[in-house]
Structure 1
């Protein structure tokens, strides 16, 4: 343990000086056999962190690209991650596990501490924490009082307002009220509509009530509501030669609107060496996403998706010690989530015109072939002459024309999920230096899908003078369920080097991400059916029928298996120079099976789907250092990670061609990430100013491949920032700048075939931005 010494420059473990309730862990993070990073509220303010994507820039091996919208929460740690469906990284907010990825990317404020745990956390935290875990803690009104106000303004009309009042009702009871508004006018303009393509407005409020009913019993209630309304998905055409991204040209609305409420009641009871924790949460999400799915000025297709989610969680954890050398945690976790997704797909004029042309050509060719066969029976008739006669006959009779084609694909999907976990972890001191950590969890999940979706195509057709209106439809209505269970073990050893907290560790553990169902690809399935049966509509109205065998094939197509991994890790937490320098290093090797991979759906390439891509591995090194010097006036930190994630066995078949991706880098994972920050604080003997702090920070990442074939990528880039803070007893003035060099880079890229030819799209990163924040504490 570190001892506070005001006369020297020292680094203190944040989980010693910022005390938060830990229902499961019995020891400090840096004493456990795992890689982790911790950030205090002071550090997040200096770095200008307002959401998890900005935090990820300063954690080795952790990426959360800022693209799309608040709906998008693509986390990657150690090459493990997900763009759609089940998350691979868990997020806990004041003790409650957030159930849906759609709620991960939100504005964070009133922060006391943030922890990022890297590597599988399945033993204590269950499924969907295969890559790691992010824990966010708010300030406790029992330990902090007064009123905090923050006002910010900057370029592109960035504006931010936050206010929190911490009020002690008595010696053992306190309450806090918070509210915020955040917005900016965006950096990217849509060239077709002339509007900003990435502006955002969001607001919310939070309440927390803490009551220490007795020295043994504590109640902690929190409710956090947030609203966001933003333009989204500002993707422009990517030039593969120079990496330049053009401005977006979508002709349809691209936006995202969301309401979320996350609430929890934490109860803690302590008796001697035993602590009992109960966490009950209710979570609500209602959102709407509008997307131009061809991402161009062409009027092909757009989507409007609405989600309505209600979820409850309950966790019981018992933590204690059997004797002075044996600490344990055991518990039970359960959750049920209702999720209704309404996702109608709209086919617009350019697409229906293209479909009409294809159907018209198919009918013309079919009739031509049929008539040519008959003409071939004439003695001396050549195949070429027979075809010419057939075409002349068709044209003379009035030809073939398909017009006024319309098509719609309404869809309603219910995907409830149930999860139950039972877990135990023990930490046993084998001797005064060596501690063994051993854990086991049984995890069971049940996933259901009920889909009610259809495709209806209507058109007018004139075939050789005969005109008729035709209707072709296909309806899919079915319910399917699938269950998964996993045993998640953990074995670690920690060797204490000395009494100042330094240690080395070895760890083997298993991670797991649940399987489920794709609902994004139904429009592609239905479109394929309509095209395959378009000739039937020429005879009469036609409803495509489905057999049990058809539904079995569909269910097999839309389902995907769980992904699991084994993590082998060596690391160290070292404190040097009497506590003035902390360094953390870890090396790891992960074997991933049934790799879940997000790819474009089927025939038409509209929407994404999850598939299992065989086997892969990820290995790398993570390092971080931080320190203080010169009587704490100089503070600094640096991080580096190298992540080598590759396919071991993944083959893709398309149009009879097999592509082998063995040895290719897994997309969206930067090979290198780096960050650093330096702050210099100068005391001032003034009437109102007490100190001035000047700091610089930088983060870099790359090379990042955007596809499985590694055919295009984002090269290594670096973002430079700075800040200058003036502090008084109650006021802080902070002047800041981001991307000082206006570095051009892309945060995301994809390939689309919606227009009938390959089109590469990407989103530009934010350019130079500057601003000023005023913070008051009363």
Structure 2
């Protein structure tokens, strides 16, 4: 029914635009040209508060994606855009709550991100706000390698800059309606108005729904369906030639069935559908608002950017990922953040050009994260308590019989019989739910300066230094209790073991972030060679996910008590807890050689870089140690990552053919990482030296091609046929490198029909129907390690109708 309505709307709109006016003809020409790939870095003039040169003239490994390229690949968020960026991975898994990004061998699922994101000049603070849906996007810049000198903490792996359309330079109204398989549908409406020569305003809104493709086989429910909606308002004001003000407000709402992880058979690679006894859910509200104001002050310019960011979300996760009823976690986050940045720089005349500034942000994060322990967990804990009690009693009886002259095996059998005749050993443990309330405010301050020296007409040197200071506080209240009925040889005792934790602490880190770069222009087309040395870091913090594991361990250690006990804690106990839940800042040095080549006539652009990154205190997201249910952050000593990145973009045959290709290679291994693992023989040390860093693909690749065919079949003006191939090399899922995803590739295509003001884009994704895992995790809920993963999206088809008014 939806397809018939869409077809009728297409035909009605085409008929109304069959005789174009002069204004329409201009629009049609623009629509034709929009399918081509231009060097947007060269033709788009954008105010940049910090940059001295166009992006491809800077000593940075970077990728630029235009709105036309994103539309052609049916990209709707940063996860899709990452597919076409070498050595940059943002997997599609879980929910929008999870915004894991991996660049050049670093990154993690939880806590501090390795990549920073700026949206229209506003730095996004909360990691749970990174994964949002695109609408009214103009272009995206992805800068790889540490950007800490100008952008501070959590840009160790790189920086993503997202820009929306400017109503002063790009007025117009657009409506896009899309529908696809698996009950997917979305609508985007954007209107941009040039109210005067000095004032522009834009409004955009979207709605998106997806029925999902995975079914929870236990509950029979859709495991990954979703709905989203949002709106943005943007004002661009230029009161004088030397001043401007940009005002932005953006709201998005997300409602998803989330975390659809099925069991992974590591021996044959078979991945089952999700099968949990609780549905995973995620709801999120995001409101971001910013004011950017700039003016010239004689030979200098000053830019101020102020933002307020609010996030409120709710998550439900079946932590064991199984039909059994072990654990359920819910989490509510309420985040408020303000940021302020002032940037002062001199003009672009003379050999000495400098930029200096200050940055400050304050984030308040309140998290309410209770963990619910259910019947199967009670049985699991009961058996864990019973086994050592029974073993100790069996050994005592056995030694007594051996002392009476009985052979050991016969003594052991006699001991077991005696215990059973007397009533045996039975434990019935009831683990109460664990509440958890955490306040973790974070303060970040930065002072930075960067100098660019024009040593000659071709050679420039850049020297930068930033001092970045970060403080994180934690104020926590959590508790746990276990009621335990123990029956030993006919005698039953009931005890209650309880523990309550309440404390506060803080950690602070200061870092000097230097940068040194040389760039040499090699021809008149601004082709260049560069070398860069830079330091980056991402902040340390606290693992609030650790508390349920701490409390379980504490209660279990007192499970042999013969009377009820309320565990008391000393100051040393709280210091030990802080040592357990805290993790250090991760730092890295990046050494890079690269080039940006513009071949004659600008028809081919080649970017290439080789890098070496040395990482200290590498942060890894691993399973909590004792029970293996929750995630925790650890520092993994040192690692080394080296690799290369190559990308090519061009157009040929009278600009009818546009193409691109990219390849990234990453070899990331641990240099020093020793962990302690619990085994049947006790705790033993495991050395991971030389093992690959998990979650980091060894290869990333993508290529695209679009062929435009002009037509004289009114109202159809042209056809564009496009195809893309992308994929990844092997990805290890654990530090021991025992479980991995093999290399895979996916194929996409689209057919764009251009009717002037109206375009129809028919698309298909994953045409090879590759069923790889986008993420995998181990769980020890049953006492043995089992693996769970999320399937990639299957083959999908759809169509988008776009109308320009």
Q: Same fold (TM over 0.5)?
A: yes
> Residue 517 of structure 2: which of 492, 497, 500 is its match?
492
Deviation at 1:741, TM superposition (A): 1.5
**Which residue does the alignment assign to 1:626?**
649
**Which residue does the alignment assign to 1:446?**
471
Deviation at 1:218, TM superposition (A): 1.3
Deviation at 1:469, TM superposition (A): 3.8
Q: Call closer, same or farther: CA 1:638–1:381 in 2, change over 3 Å.
A: closer
**Which residue does the alignment assign to 2:127?**
101
Give the 3-state SS of the residue equivalent to 2:457 in structure 1: coil
Paired residues of 1:420 and 1:444 also in contact (CA < 8 A): yes
Equivalent runs, 1:347-358 vs 2, <5 Å: 347-358=373-384
Deviation at 1:232, TM superposition (A): 1.3
> Residue 582 of structure 1: which of 605, 611, 627 is its match?
605
**Which residue does the alignment assign to 1:223?**
249
Deviation at 1:656, TM superposition (A): 3.5
Paired residues of 1:20 and 1:137 also in contact (CA < 8 A): no
Paired residues of 1:64 and 1:74 also in contact (CA < 8 A): yes
Paired residues of 2:694 and 2:734 also in contact (CA < 8 A): yes
Q: Call closer, same or farther: CA 1:516–1:404 in 2, change over 3 Å.
A: closer
1:134 aligns with 2:160: yes
**Which residue does the alignment assign to 2:623?**
600
Equivalent runs, 1:34-433 vs 2, <5 Å: 34-321=60-347, 323-364=349-390, 400-403=425-428, 405-433=430-458
1:723-763 per-residue CA deviation (whole Å, 9 max, x = no partner) reads 11111331111000001111121111122111111112211
Deviation at 1:246, TM superposition (A): 1.1
1:750 aligns with 2:749: no
1:521 aligns with 2:555: no
1:203-237 per-residue CA deviation (whole Å, 9 max, x = no partner) reads 11111122212222211111111111111111112
Deviation at 1:442, TM superposition (A): 0.4
Deviation at 1:112, TM superposition (A): 0.8
User: How far apart, in 2, do the equivalents of 1:243 and 1:386 lie?
Assistant: 46
User: How far apart, in 2, do the equivalents of 1:593 and 1:506 lie?
Assistant: 22
Give the 3-state SS of the residue equivalent to 2:213 in structure 1: coil
User: How far apart, in 1, do the equivalents of 2:411 and 2:568 lie?
Assistant: 37
Aligned positions, number: 769
Q: Call closer, same or farther: CA 1:656–1:364 in 2, change over 3 Å.
A: closer
1:615 aligns with 2:635: no
**Which residue does the alignment assign to 1:678?**
705
> Residue 563 of structure 1: which of 586, 589, 592 is its match?
586
Give the 3-state SS of the residue equivalent to 1:529 in structure 2: helix
Paired residues of 1:11 and 1:580 also in contact (CA < 8 A): no
Paired residues of 2:116 and 2:160 also in contact (CA < 8 A): yes
Paired residues of 1:11 and 1:579 also in contact (CA < 8 A): no
1:456-493 per-residue CA deviation (whole Å, 9 max, x = no partner) reads 11244445555554211011111111110000011111
User: How far apart, in 1, do the equivalents of 2:732 and 2:131 lie?
Assistant: 23
1:530 aligns with 2:555: yes
Paired residues of 1:352 and 1:407 also in contact (CA < 8 A): no
> Residue 700 of structure 1: which of 714, 717, 727 is its match?
727
Q: Call closer, same or farther: CA 1:406–1:172 in 2, change over 3 Å.
A: same
User: How far apart, in 1, do the equivalents of 2:87 and 2:58 lie?
Assistant: 19
Structure 1 window deviating more from structure 2 (357-366 vs 582-591): it is 357-366
Q: Call closer, same or farther: CA 1:771–1:552 in 2, change over 3 Å.
A: same
Q: Call closer, same or farther: CA 1:498–1:458 in 2, change over 3 Å.
A: same
Paired residues of 1:581 and 1:626 also in contact (CA < 8 A): yes
> What's the TM-score once normalised by structure 1's chain length?
0.95
User: How far apart, in 2, do the equivalents of 1:206 and 1:379 lie?
Assistant: 85
User: How far apart, in 2, do the equivalents of 1:101 and 1:633 lie?
Assistant: 41
Paired residues of 2:428 and 2:486 also in contact (CA < 8 A): yes
Paired residues of 2:36 and 2:656 also in contact (CA < 8 A): no
User: How far apart, in 2, do the equivalents of 1:505 and 1:369 lie?
Assistant: 71
1:588-616 per-residue CA deviation (whole Å, 9 max, x = no partner) reads 11111111111111110111111111111
User: How far apart, in 2, do the equivalents of 1:335 and 1:701 lie?
Assistant: 36
Give the 3-state SS of the residue equivalent to 2:587 in structure 1: strand
Deviation at 1:290, TM superposition (A): 1.0
Q: Call closer, same or farther: CA 1:369–1:562 in 2, change over 3 Å.
A: same
Paired residues of 1:676 and 1:697 also in contact (CA < 8 A): yes
Could you say what the CA RMSD is over the residues aligned between the two structures, in angstroms?
2.2
Give the 3-state SS of the residue equivalent to 1:213 in structure 2: strand
> What's the TM-score once normalised by structure 2's chain length?
0.92
1:410-453 per-residue CA deviation (whole Å, 9 max, x = no partner) reads 11111111000000111111011101111110000011111111
User: How far apart, in 1, do the equivalents of 2:510 and 2:476 lie?
Assistant: 24
User: How far apart, in 2, do the equivalents of 1:378 and 1:425 lie?
Assistant: 81
Deviation at 1:653, TM superposition (A): 2.1
Deviation at 1:574, TM superposition (A): 0.6
User: How far apart, in 2, do the equivalents of 1:301 and 1:162 lie?
Assistant: 40
1:716 aligns with 2:743: yes
Q: Call closer, same or farther: CA 1:169–1:347 in 2, change over 3 Å.
A: same
1:455 aligns with 2:516: no
Paired residues of 1:11 and 1:582 also in contact (CA < 8 A): no
Deviation at 1:640, TM superposition (A): 0.8
User: How far apart, in 1, do the equivalents of 2:471 and 2:327 lie?
Assistant: 34
Give the 3-state SS of the residue equivalent to 2:548 in structure 1: helix
User: How far apart, in 2, do the equivalents of 1:251 and 1:14 lie?
Assistant: 50
Equivalent runs, 1:729-744 vs 2, <5 Å: 729-744=756-771
Give the 3-state SS of the residue equivalent to 2:182 in structure 1: helix
Give the 3-state SS of the residue equivalent to 1:520 in structure 2: helix
User: How far apart, in 2, do the equivalents of 1:708 and 1:231 lie?
Assistant: 29
> Residue 504 of structure 1: which of 511, 518, 529 is its match?
529
Paired residues of 2:326 and 2:374 also in contact (CA < 8 A): yes
**Which residue does the alignment assign to 1:3?**
none
Paired residues of 1:521 and 1:606 also in contact (CA < 8 A): no
Paired residues of 1:163 and 1:179 also in contact (CA < 8 A): yes
Paired residues of 2:37 and 2:658 also in contact (CA < 8 A): no
User: How far apart, in 1, do the equivalents of 2:92 and 2:402 lie?
Assistant: 67
Paired residues of 1:643 and 1:671 also in contact (CA < 8 A): yes
Q: Call closer, same or farther: CA 1:501–1:142 in 2, change over 3 Å.
A: same
Q: Call closer, same or farther: CA 1:647–1:400 in 2, change over 3 Å.
A: closer
Give the 3-state SS of the residue equivalent to 1:638 in structure 2: strand
Give the 3-state SS of the residue equivalent to 1:123 in structure 2: helix
Paired residues of 1:10 and 1:580 also in contact (CA < 8 A): no
1:357-376 per-residue CA deviation (whole Å, 9 max, x = no partner) reads 33344445556667788x77
User: How far apart, in 1, do the equivalents of 2:70 and 2:708 lie?
Assistant: 17
Deviation at 1:272, TM superposition (A): 4.8
